[in-house]
Every structure is written in C-alpha cells, then in structure tokens.
Structure 1
Amino acid sequence: MTVPRSWRDSKKIRQCRPHPVTDAPFAIPDSKVGQLDTLLHNSGVLGLIDTELAGRPGPGGLPVRTVLVGLLLSLHYHQSATLADACRVLLDEVTPTARTWLAVTDMDRHDLHARLAFSRRVYRSFDRLTSALDPYRCDRRRRLPTDEAAAHAAAWEDEDAEHLRRRRLLQEISDRLVLVTVHLAHRRGLFKGWKGDIGIDTTPVPAWHDEPKTHKSLASVEITAGWHYCAGSTEGIFGHSATLLVAGSRRQPTGHPRAGRRVSEHPQLALGLVLDTPGKRIGPNAIHALGALAPFGFPAGVLAVDRAYTDQTAPHFAEPARRLGYRLVLDYKQNQRGVQGSAPSGALLVDGSLACPAVPTRFAHATTGLDDGTVRAMDDQLTELIAQRRPFFLKTKQAADARGTIRLQCPAAGPSPSVNCPRFHHVHGTANARPKAVDLTNLRATAAHSAAKTAVPIPTAERLRPPPKNELPRICQKPTITLHPGGLGPHDKFRQDFPYLGPAWHDAYKPIRANNEGLNGRAKSHRIDIGDPKKRLAHGRAAQTILVALMVCTLNLQILHDWHLTSGTPPTPETGFSGFKHDGHLTPTAYTSTGIPPP
C-alpha cells in the first residue's frame, strides 16, 4: 500500500492538527460563581467554620469561603478537587468582579512570585480548616512510626469530649454540603411522588498514599485508612469507605401502571455521605445518614441493603432503622439462609420471616445451603417452593409502634386464615363448627373456604392423641403474639418485612440495589470520580471528608441538571427561598424564567 505524500511531510502534518481558538484561559461566567457561592451560603457550613476558627491565633489569612468556592468551580469545570487546580481557577478563570466577591486582592497574575504567594495562602487557609477539625493533629508530610500513628488514629475512635466534638462538627459540615442539594431538589418539588425508598451501600475511596510498611514499622500517611474488601473480592483496596444513600424506587408487582417505558418519578440523588475507616461503624454510619434526613419530612419507605448490613448487630442497624419507620429488605450469605432461629413463642424464623412451627421441612429449608448463583437465577422448582411456604408465615395484625413493637397472628387465625390447621381447630374449639355452604360459581368464595386452604401437616400421633394445651408452643396456645425490638435475640438482625425471594422482595430489592450501583458508577465516572485519588491529593481524613463531600455535592448538581434534560421537564421555581447579599458585595443572583440562577 502506498502511503500518501502528505503523511510523510511533517510540516503538512502539523498544519492538519487542530488548534485551539485562543490560548487565553477559560473565562467562568459570574453567574456560575454566584450560583455556587449562594449554594455554599445556603448550606450553613460557613457559619460553623467561622465559629470554629474565631478563637484561633494567627492572622485570618484567605477566607475559607474563597477556597471552598474555588474547589467547587474546579470540580464543576475540571472534575478535580485539588488545591492546585482551585488556585488556577481563582487566578486565571474567574473575572475581576468575581475575584472581588471572593476577597482575592488585586495582584499581578503574571508575576511568578505573586502566584506562588497566593497558592501558599490557599494551602494555608485549607490547612487551617483541617487542623481545626482534626481531633489530633499530626505531621501529615511523612510516615510516622507505627506506635505514634496508632496514638493519633485512636483520637478518631475514643470517647474524649473534645475529640467527639470535632468529629461531630466535621460530619455536620459534610452532611450540610451534601444535603444542600437535596434541599434544592426538595424546594423545586422533585420529591413529590417519592415513597421514601432508600438504598444504602458502602463503596471504597482509595488513598493516594501507600499502605503501612510493617517490616519497617512505618504507618501510612493516611493513618485512619484501611483495607476495603468489596463483595466477592479477595484483594483489598487501601483507603477509606464511603457510606452513600440513594433515593431509590420500587417496581410494581404487576408491572408499571403507565404504558410504555418506565420513567423514574424523581432524581436518584445521593441523600447522605459518611466517610470512615473500612469495616468500622457500618451500621451506625447508615443510621446517622438516615437521621439527617428527618428534618425534610420525607416518608419512610423501604430500606434495601446488602449483606454487610445484615451482619450488623440488631442494636447497631436493624432496630434503629425500624424505629425510624423503615421496612427492611435484606439479603443473606450462603450459611445464613433457611431456618435462622426461633422466637420465644415457638415460631420459626425462616429467611427473615416468622413462620408456623409446623411448617413442612422442605419448605422451611428450601434455601438452606444454596449458593448465590442459584438464588439469583431461581429455577422453577425453587420458585414453587418459595411460593408454597408463604401461607405458613405469621400475619401482621398490628403495625409497629414508636418503639418498634409489632403484633403477629397465627396463619390459621382470624377471619381470613391462610392455612387449615387441625391443631388450631382442636385447641380453640373450632373443629366441630358447622360447615358453611359455598357457591362454587363464586371464585372468591371458593378460594376463601377452609377446604381450599393449605393444610398444615400435623403428625399422626398428635392427631390420634392430642397433647395438653400447655405443652404446645405459645403461638399455638394464643394465636396472637407481641414481638418487641430485640425479641429474637442475636437472630433479630435477620428479620425483614418482605418474604425472602418472593415477588414483593424482588420488586423492592433488585431495583433499589440497581439504583445504588448506578450512583456508585456516576460517582466514579469520567466526570466526578471519587475513586481517583489524584483528584483529591490533600492529606488526612479531615481533608478527605471535606473534599469527598464537595465531590458528592457537585455530583448531585450534575444529576439534577441531567434529570431535567432527560425527563424533559424544566425546573419549577423554588419555594421558601429568599435572596441575600454575599458579605455586602454580591447582590442576589437574578433568576431566570425557569426559577434557577443562570448557568
């Protein structure tokens, strides 16, 4: 094949290359600076930060507000949360008017020494913030000996009053940076049709620094980082773990009522974020994020979580989640499926649901020992067994109260029993009841007849010689029982509100877990990538918490923008918002006809 002559001419090749329109730096419109500055003010973090830094010695330096706005602009336009990129944005890309708003004094931006001096001011301002929020400040520029690093890391775990106060303040700042975007969506009315379904997942946030060197007795620069093991992986990721909440949605059991392709009724925003050491406080971190949503007044719907949360003790996760009003949808490991225990009343705990003590063995152990592949790709036989054991589950007679106490009923009791139990008829004197005539042409009446119900298999010996009433399980003596929080002991963490692997469980668990994975994918995409440590190079957990919170805040703004574009509905005017001036310099941002500040 003959190569064209132009391909061999280096001058012509250079002429064919694309050239930028201009070499001038990118110009960020003042409206975007004002929009992000307004968002930062509305979050309330600036007041918390100013109060914390008020009594610290030394000059005030560059305002923390300037650094945070620079980081938000850098994330929005360059997908980076590094201080170096924030410096370039503040010096080269914002207009002189916006620099005046942000208290960036006039300087010769072309003077190398002036630029270096400004960058040092940015770094010192951010370091002043992280030092004030760090429970135990240490040298973050070098590896510490293992014993010295352990003393500093203990400040993130102990019960010291000052350490607790700083950790709570850091988490409150992180919560406000994330929830300000939820406030924005809520004011626009984007959660009107949301039922309160939430998915929780923990995703790794890798660290830039190397892991500890045990043979040299040296710790990592990130003294609170650890090894995060994803489900099914034997190789850990060194860094921190981020607990993320997503606004999920369920499928309808019989299909979506609207014709055509199903469209989500709300944006799937990140509703909460907690950054922590891998494997530490998995359940309490999720409960904290759920509690932070209480002021919004959202409904409490379904809470779908993976097996990491199923392993948490009931007081750490299941009990407080139920007190908040959520219904749990859980998954189990291979050795946790099947019969998981029993209640004091004699009822069996079968895959998270309390069942009749006389449930057939093949139904109770339908999932015992099954691996994940078999459960996720259920065959017809397993599907039939799951369906046949459902009538044996205890029925809910009274929903949970404020303490989480519920009332359950024997499946053979009540006006609409689901099984036909000879033991129940003998104990409660209904065996000789006069049968009722039924119209066989009425399908509903035929299905409600006792002869059409599933029969409870009672042993032949018990049929011939019924035991005394006091020797039977309590659920058989008294058809209604009260189940208090923690009433199942250590097995209470397995209890859930939908029959495992049933239609209702699939319609809730699978879509919400898909929402979780979708949020994780967007959080680690080419736009905002919390999984790339090169985009957040600051040292220390306090710095990482703030930077990841800013990244999730920017991610939510992108989700809101994309949701309006894909749904075809323009944003409605916000309610309950009043403009204000930025430190006496920035006037309220002019709103467009769509109700939001200009881009």
Structure 2
Amino acid sequence: MTVHQEDAELERKIVELLPSSSGARTRKGWHSTGTVELAAKLVDASGVVEKAHEWRCQDDAWSRAKRPVKDEQRDPGFGKRGGRPAMFTTRQVLIIMLLHSVTGEPLLIKELATTVHERLNPRSRELLGLPADPSDMNCGQVYTNFRRALRRFLDAIDSAPHSTGRRLRYSEVLRIRAMRAEESENLAEKSSRGSWVANQLLHMTYLYLPKEVRANWRGTISVDGTAVPVWGKAGSPGAKKRTLDSMCSPEFDAGWHSRTAEDHNGEKNKDHNGDKGRKRLKRTQEEFKWAYEATIAVMAEDPDCVTDFPKLALSVSLEKPAGRVAENAMVCVGAIVDRGLPINYFVGDRAYLPHSDVDKLQGPLKALGYKFVADLRSDQLGIQGQHAGALLVEGTWYCPSMPTALIEASIDHLNKKISDDTYQRLIDARRDYMLQTKEKADSNGVVQMRCPAMGPNPTVDCPLKPQKQTSVGLGIPKLRTKIIKPPKHPDRICSNRSSVAFGPDAGANEAGLKYGQAVPYRSKEWHTLYQTPRSTIEGLNAMVKDEGKGALGSAGRRRARGYTFQSLCVAVLLAGANIRMIDSFLAKPIKTTAERIVARTDRRRRKQTLDSYRQRANAPPLVGPAAEAAN
C-alpha cells in the first residue's frame, strides 16, 4: 500500500468518527440521576415556578390595563399572548441551572442547552418532563428556545429592564434610566420578586439540612460583600470626562469594585487605618474590577453553640459596589426573619457597623432583636458618648470614674505606646467599671442599668455609695477596685438609688445605638464573637469563588448580561455551594442538641421605643437599579 493510499484510508476512518451535521457531539458524560432528582425536588418545593406563573398573569393584566382604549376597540385580542407552545418551561430552566451549580459547571446558556440536548439519561429527562428522544431537536433549536424560556422567567423579576447587552452611548444610558424612572413602582415590585426568588432558593438548601442539625445554629449571622465581576468591556467614563457621546459598558448598572482597608478587620495590620482612620490600601490596577457586589448573610458560630453545623449562605442581595450597604444588609436580614429563622448576633465589618446610618441599619436590626459585634476605626476609639453621667467607651457603658489609662487603652495601643500584653490587661481591667445590667432589655430596647458599686455583686468601692464589706468565705474580705476620684457633680448614674433606664436614644446622636456592642470591645469574648464569624464569611466567599467549583469570581462562566441574570446566577451558585457543604458535612459523624427559647412579654409603655425603627411590613429597602429609578 502506497503512502497516498494509507493517507486516504486514514482520512476515511477519521471522517467516520466525526459527528453528523445534526450537531456537535459533546465530550462530557451524562449527569447523575440522583443530582438531577435533588435539583428537581428543591425547585419544586421552593414554589418559585408557581410564583413565576402568577407574576406573569399579573404583568399581563397590568399591560392590558395600560393599553389605549382605541387598541381594545380595534382588536379585542390585543395584549394577549399567542403563538406555539413554549419548548421549555421555567421549571426546566431552574433545574438545569441548579444542576450545573451543584456539579461546578459554567452557567453559560450554550452549556445549559447542551445538557438539555445531550447529557440527560432517559430517567432524568422523565423527571424534567422532556421528550425521551432528543434527536428530534438540533442544538440550535435547543439553544434558542432555552434562551427564550430563561428570558421569559427573567422578565417577571427584571428590575433593570431595557438593557441591550451591548455598549451604549451615555445619551442612550440616560434615556434608559429615564424610562425606568417612569415605571419605578413596577420596578420596585419586580425587585421584591427577584429578591424573593434568590433567597427562596437559598432557603430550600437550608431546609435540605436535617432538622436536628439546623437546631445547632442559634441565629448568629455574618454579613459581607463580595465582588461579582461581569463579562464584557469594563468601565464607563467618569463624570469629568463623560459626554453624551461617551461609550459605556454593556453592564452600565455595575461599577468599579475595590477593597479598602478601613472596612475590614485590622488584626493582621494593626496600624492599617492610619491617624485619620481613612487610609486606603495601596492598590494596583488589577485590584479594580468592573463588577456588582453581592451582600451575603451566612450562618456563624457563637459561644452558645455546642455542636458543629455547615455554615450555609442564608440570603443574598446584589448591588452596585459600595452602594446602599445598609439597605442590602437589611434585605438579607429581612429574608432571614421573614422565614422564621432564629435571631442572635449580627457581625459585620466596618462598612456595616458602626459606619451605617442608625435609621437604616442599627435601629432596624435592634428592633428585630439582633445584638451587635463590630470593629472600630481609629477615630471611633475612646469615649463615644455619655448618658446620665455614664461613659460610652467603644460600645460599652462604664462608670464616669474609670481612669484615663483604661479609657484611652485602644488609642495608646494603636499609637504603639503600650504592648499587646499591657493592652489586654487594661481591657480586662475595664470590667470592674462596667455598669451592671439590672434587667434584660425589654421589647422596646430599654435596659435598666446601675452603678458598679451597687447591687448584690458590686465590683468597685465608691465613696458616693458605701457598701458593707462582704467576704468570699472563711471570713476573707472580698477585694474590690476602689474609686479614688468620684465625680464632683454626680449625675443620675451616681445619685439614683436603684438604676437608670438606657433606651435606644441613649447618648448624643443615638451613640448608644450606633456604637453599642454585645460584649466589651477587644475582650476575649469579642475576639471569639467577631473573628470566628468573619472567618466564616471570608471562607464562604473563597469557596464559592473556587475556580474548580462555582467560580463566582470568573465572569467568563456566566456571560449573559443584565443585572437580573447576574442576581439569579449568584443565588444559584450559592445554592450549589450550600448543597456541596451539606453533603460533605453529612458524610461525617455529628452530635445534636435542642433548646427551647422562651420570649418575655413587655408590660410597660415607653416614650422612646424601637417601634420608630421597625420597617414596614412587606416593604423591604429598595436596592439595585430599582432604587435608582425610584430616586
């Protein structure tokens, strides 16, 4: 056989291996039937499909109500949907997206369509209600119809409509924003729908966790934001260089994301925030990303937890970077509270606490029953406020006679005037001067507190309130810290016989509510309550951005454009990460406990209460493009 004959024979064999003209052959195998079944059960149990149908009917009625009378007279069928039946349903779209998230595959529409066409076995196709024989459809038909089905679902929750997916001139962007402003009420409704869908999918993964394991979590959450880069041309011209003809990013609702040192814990870099508390990290161009920012609330441990549990993402909200930080945090918290989950500690970095406005974050959180644990900037150290003579020092109320060395311990430590060991001893020494809680806070947030020299267990001896000498046993006198210089003009905390009420408005400019913390700042309890939840949320962010799994930080794995699509992708990727965490956790032996929580009933009436901070029912804060349209 000649060389030419050998080449011809080899060419013939290769041609036989090539796919037919009906479509390209996938190199990937079938998806597990068990994983498909799990995704189907979670989507079916969520109720999202039924809600989507209900919303579409409402939108159709709204569209018909807006049409001119002359159109109705000309054509009675105007505004009604027609055409052939859809090839794919909302249920099938959500199941396939969740399936890809669980298995760590990209959320590209082409890949999703390929799964529908070639990667489902007969049992899986039956679960999804797909035709048993996919050969009747080619890849192009599947892609087009799958994309349309996704678009139909997104239309019902799209709070950022009129996006074209291509670069636009700034004049066109202004026209789109003006159109959104005209339908701001409708967009606010769709924003609430989108938030409900995203958080309902996450809630289904929480319910996927066995009940006895869920009982181990006591309600502590850690909240943080993470960048969600978008695909395509990055950036839009700044205000100084921008003209009507300037070209903007296809994702003009996104923004530049950069991480600043002042918003995060400074344990690794103790002089990170400089003298003014606003020094930024030295950043390179690579540290700026054109992205959205996903605010995520995650389950976290606290000292009350006695057994382990997987740290799941409970809720999420998407926004332009550094925009409406407090509002997005409250959207996440609202999704947790609305679903009846437990309430305990709220842990966030400096971007949330105490930086946020009291009316937007601290007040609503306190009204819900959350306790705060937060870090402080250097310009927030030391005395933060006063009430009835008591001093608010770094989130805790103290005796007015507390020595200056203890008051300024954090400032001296920041300026490197004292060592770490000395600083910790001074923090511990503050305890004797802490006001004592006579009664727990009532439902209105009012706490009865008394001087540390009073009560059954005084911690200081003060000449203004002499106490009988007590003993610890065997006649040995109990030693207490002595107040040497009491106030010359004592206020109520020193003169009242029993206690003083500390309400939500305690301190100038509501300092007690803005800066108050559940435990003394930088104490051992603080380190446990702050650092562990903060490590938890950072760990979740790293896991969901793992390139081998969800790859949330890779824009190329979810290239379809639009705020609403990106919001859905973030929720689906977090749901997939939750499922993987649960499966990994259940593979290990666990111990469980249960506890009953009894709530106290408030029988008193106060002038200053937390009612003024409570959010209106069914009216969560507006976030994202819908908030811009409303303004």
Q: TM-score range by the shorter chain?
A: 0.7 to 0.9
Residue-pair matches, total:
511
Quote the residue 1:65 is aligned against: 91
CA–CA separation in structure 2 for the residues paired with 1:437 and 1:189: 46
Quote the residue 2:539 is aligned against: 518
Change in CA separation of 1:159 and 1:407 when aligned onto 2, cut-off 3 Å: farther
Counterparts of residues 197-596 of structure 1 (less than 5 Å): 197-209=220-232, 210-214=234-238, 215=241, 217-232=246-261, 233=281, 234=283, 235-250=287-302, 265-294=308-337, 297-310=340-353, 311-343=355-387, 345-368=388-411, 370-371=413-414, 379-422=420-463, 424-425=464-465, 430=466, 435-436=468-469, 438=471, 441=474, 446-447=477-478, 452-458=479-485, 471-478=489-496, 480-488=499-507, 489-491=509-511, 492-525=513-546, 526-565=548-587, 567-568=588-589
Quote the residue 2:63 is aligned against: none
1:557: how far off?
A: 0.3
1:283: how far off?
A: 1.9
1:98 corresponds to 2:124:
yes
1:293: how far off?
A: 2.3
1:436: how far off?
A: 4.7
1:303: how far off?
A: 1.9
Contact 2:552–2:573 (CA under 8 A) maintained in structure 1: yes
CA–CA separation in structure 2 for the residues paired with 1:401 and 1:155: 47
Quote the residue 1:125 is aligned against: 149
CA–CA separation in structure 2 for the residues paired with 1:378 and 1:305: 27
**Aligned partner letter, 1:172:** W
CA–CA separation in structure 1 for the residues paired with 2:107 and 2:472: 73
Contact 2:413–2:419 (CA under 8 A) maintained in structure 1: no
Contact 1:155–1:163 (CA under 8 A) maintained in structure 2: no
CA–CA separation in structure 2 for the residues paired with 1:63 and 1:266: 35
1:195: how far off?
A: 2.2
- CA offsets per residue over residues 6-33 of structure 1, 9 Å max, x none? xxxxxxxxxxxxxxxx986412243332
Quote the residue 2:170 is aligned against: 146
CA–CA separation in structure 2 for the residues paired with 1:332 and 1:157: 38
Contact 2:160–2:563 (CA under 8 A) maintained in structure 1: no
- CA offsets per residue over residues 519-565 of structure 1, 9 Å max, x none? 11111112112111111111111111111111111110000011112
Contact 1:196–1:298 (CA under 8 A) maintained in structure 2: yes
CA–CA separation in structure 1 for the residues paired with 2:178 and 2:253: 9
Contact 2:103–2:549 (CA under 8 A) maintained in structure 1: no
Provide the secondary structure at the position in 1 that maps to 2:224. strand
**Aligned partner letter, 1:551:** L
Provide the secondary structure at the position in 1 that maps to 2:360. coil
Provide the secondary structure at the position in 2 that maps to 1:293. helix
1:453: how far off?
A: 1.2
Contact 1:198–1:246 (CA under 8 A) maintained in structure 2: yes
CA–CA separation in structure 2 for the residues paired with 1:159 and 1:438: 73
**Aligned partner letter, 1:472:** P
1:247: how far off?
A: 1.3
CA–CA separation in structure 1 for the residues paired with 2:410 and 2:27: 65
CA–CA separation in structure 1 for the residues paired with 2:177 and 2:198: 20
Change in CA separation of 1:400 and 1:92 when aligned onto 2, cut-off 3 Å: same
1:136: how far off?
A: 4.6
Contact 2:167–2:248 (CA under 8 A) maintained in structure 1: yes
Contact 2:102–2:579 (CA under 8 A) maintained in structure 1: no
CA–CA separation in structure 2 for the residues paired with 1:504 and 1:131: 48
CA–CA separation in structure 2 for the residues paired with 1:92 and 1:532: 25
1:179: how far off?
A: 0.8
Contact 1:407–1:481 (CA under 8 A) maintained in structure 2: yes
1:270: how far off?
A: 0.9
CA–CA separation in structure 2 for the residues paired with 1:154 and 1:298: 39
1:196: how far off?
A: 1.9
Change in CA separation of 1:230 and 1:442 when aligned onto 2, cut-off 3 Å: farther
CA–CA separation in structure 2 for the residues paired with 1:272 and 1:26: 33
Q: Which runs of 5+ in 2 are unaligned?
A: 1-24, 61-79, 262-280, 593-631
CA–CA separation in structure 1 for the residues paired with 2:290 and 2:419: 36
CA–CA separation in structure 2 for the residues paired with 1:238 and 1:53: 32
* Consecutive aligned runs of 4 or more in structure 1 exceeding 6 Å deviation: 154-159
Identity %: 26
**Aligned partner letter, 1:482:** A
1:295: how far off?
A: 5.3
**Aligned partner letter, 2:439:** Q
Provide the secondary structure at the position in 2 that maps to 1:227. strand
Q: Which runs of 5+ in 1 are unaligned?
A: 1-21, 258-263, 572-599
Contact 1:352–1:494 (CA under 8 A) maintained in structure 2: yes
- CA offsets per residue over residues 226-252 of structure 1, 9 Å max, x none? 122324244433211111112111358
Contact 1:84–1:119 (CA under 8 A) maintained in structure 2: yes
1:175 corresponds to 2:199:
yes
Quote the residue 1:84 is aligned against: 110
1:42 corresponds to 2:63:
no
- CA offsets per residue over residues 49-91 of structure 1, 9 Å max, x none? 1112233735452212112212122223342111111111111
Q: Which range is displaced more, 45-54 or 26-35? A: 26-35
Change in CA separation of 1:405 and 1:440 when aligned onto 2, cut-off 3 Å: closer
CA–CA separation in structure 1 for the residues paired with 2:444 and 2:180: 31
Change in CA separation of 1:555 and 1:150 when aligned onto 2, cut-off 3 Å: farther
Quote the residue 2:218 is aligned against: 195
Q: Which range is displaced more, 93-102 or 276-285? A: 93-102
**Aligned partner letter, 1:115:** C
Provide the secondary structure at the position in 1 that maps to 2:218. coil
Contact 2:297–2:315 (CA under 8 A) maintained in structure 1: yes
1:490: how far off?
A: 4.7
Q: Which range is displaced more, 267-276 or 226-235? A: 226-235
1:197: how far off?
A: 1.9
